[in-house]
Amino acid sequence: MADRVLGGRYTVQDKIGIGGMATVYRGLDTVLGRTVAIKTMLPQYAADPSFAARFKQEAQAAAALQSPYIVGVYDWGKDGDTYYIVMEYLRGTDLKSGIGKHGALDCRKVAQIGSQICQALSVAHGHDIIHRDIKPQNIMVQPDGNIKVMDFGIARAKNSHLTADNSVLGTAHYVSPEQTQGKELGPTSDLYSLGIVMYEAATGRVPFDGDDAIAVALKQVNEQPVPPSQVNPNVDATLEGIILKCMRKNPAERFQTADELRRVLNDYLAGRIVNLGEATSLITATPTSQLNRTPGGRTQAMPRAAVSPTTTGRIPTTGASHASSMQVPEKKPMSKGKIAAIVIGVIAAIALVAGGAMALMGGNSATKAMPNLEGMTKDEATAKLAEYGDGFFVVSTSEQYDDNIEEGKLISQDPARNTQCEKGTQVSLVFSKGKKPAATVTVPNLKGMTPSGAESALAELNLKGAVGDSVESNDVENGKVASQDQAAGSDAKEGDTITYHLSSGVGKADAGDHSGESLSSAKSELNSLGFTNINVTHAYSSSVSKGYVISQSPTGSQSKDTSITLRVSDGPDPAQSSSNNSGNGNSNNSGNGNSNNSGSSSSSDTEDSETGSEGSNSSN
């Protein structure tokens, strides 16, 4: 992949990361000359239309989000079999690595990071996009200390039906209980994940851990976190209350919007009183991972004191003596298989586990697996669903343009294939309208631009540029755009190619000598040679007819921007003609008979009004 050029513009350089669906490279935008990050879909997914559609959706969704706290998406496309997204190249380290290296952060820094993440989420939620994968690995801390939220790879707009399956796609340590259970997600799901991020930043560890994702997911649903101050005594009461309210199991008891949480964090940072309501004060700590082995090998939960609310939101512990008096019933060890069975029943969203278990258990007679409708037309898909019985699936269809899916064929289905569905399940099917018609754009005026400037101006309108033959130009300097084939202001379609021509500077031509020619003929010939700076002066002449050129300056080979002066005859001087006298052989001059006076006179030429005479006068 290294050194490959994608889209004729982006040079792929070294690999900087790899995820579940894509590889990320550092690259160079050869048009704008800037370093970028290029995400390319892994080959095993690029051939799958549903994954390709999801990858495309990721680019479109992320590109719409403009915030100083969200990584910028510049471009996306397909080159051969490779789908790619071009993003802002970030310098710094992810928050997960920072916590691993430096340990728990101070309370103010935790709140500052949380506030900035809230601003990013506010923008996303305003576009009806739930991130669904907020975790420290997706929070980049830049050299100036500010953060950017990355990877909207599993984000999904509320009105979109694109998803590979109903499984939990995020990391188990950070997903909300409702995401673990496959329920509908809203903004509060991202706020739960943010609460866990702040918990880890404040304590140096995640609140729930286990041997595998299933065990962790089960704890997300059923267990309460150890209050942060019991892990790190430096966590103050107010920040602890904020974090624990984010992590309430019931979404209705959390902060309801990212803006609400941001205001609370900003109040905390400013030293103002923070009102967290009643929900947080009701949290009771329960055992999580502290287990004690009894002599008989049975696992017994370590006792933890009950807690009571305070006005500050702190979850205090009771005395040790009280804790030691608590009686905790012994539990029989639960096998991993039984845990999986419980999770399958509760965590319906983990599709791979659930699908395998349903196959082993023979399924549920009250549910049916969603069929795979990939590649079907609307008639074929609806007929297939009708086979399951009248009213089992309630089908709604819609259409959208898709450059990669044949017109009339299915783009996506929701629920995804193999999902266990009950009677009355709402099914949304999206079918392709074929390639989206190119939008009409107005051709920009490229004259006077550098080649890179012209390419940028065209790229902003999704137009392509092509350099034609160089042309001479009297008014555009060498190397800049002198003309373009498609006129500025005319209409073009996105993707069209606009050919432009660069100036080779002012040329030279033989101006010749047009003395004796008519003015109109001389000017026309000079114009045809590229001389446009022509000055005309007038003078009387008895030898050159009126309207004809007496003289030209300069003549011969000249630069085409040279000023050419044509001196044009106005005919004989009237004053000179009236001074001619004829008589009886005598003249007003005394002499011995005849006297002849001869001479010529002329006046200097001017461009606006000039007089002059040439010739001889005689008298007897």
Burial 112-137, CB ≥16 within 10 A → b, else e: bbbbbbbbbbbbbbeeebbbbbbbbb
Give the position of tokens 């209350």.
Answer: 241
Structure-token pair, residue 611: 């007089």
Structure-token pair, residue 465: 């540029």
User: What secondary structure does DSSP assign to 166-231, as a single string?
Assistant: SS--S-TTT--HHHHTT----HHHHHHHHHHHHHHHHHSS-S---SSHHHHHHHHHH-PPPPHHHH
Instruction: Give me the helix-helix angle, 107-126 and 187-203, nearest 10°.
Output: 160
Q: What gap in Å lies between CA 503 and CA 507, rounded to an integer?
A: 10
CA dist 604 to 392, 514, 525, 538, Å?
105, 21, 27, 10
3-state helix, strand, coil in the chain (%, to 5): 30, 20, 50
Give the position of tokens 């999704």.
Answer: 462
CB 147 within 8 A of CB 141: yes
Q: Is residue 133 flagged as an active site residue?
A: yes
- Does the annotation list 436 as a binding residue? no
Maximum pairwise Cα distance, the chain? 165
Nearest CA to 551 out of 603, 605, 600 is that of 605
From the list 29, 75, 133, 190, the catalytic residue is 133
CB 158 within 8 A of CB 130: yes
Binding residues for ATP: 39
Return binding residues.
39
Catalytic positions: 133
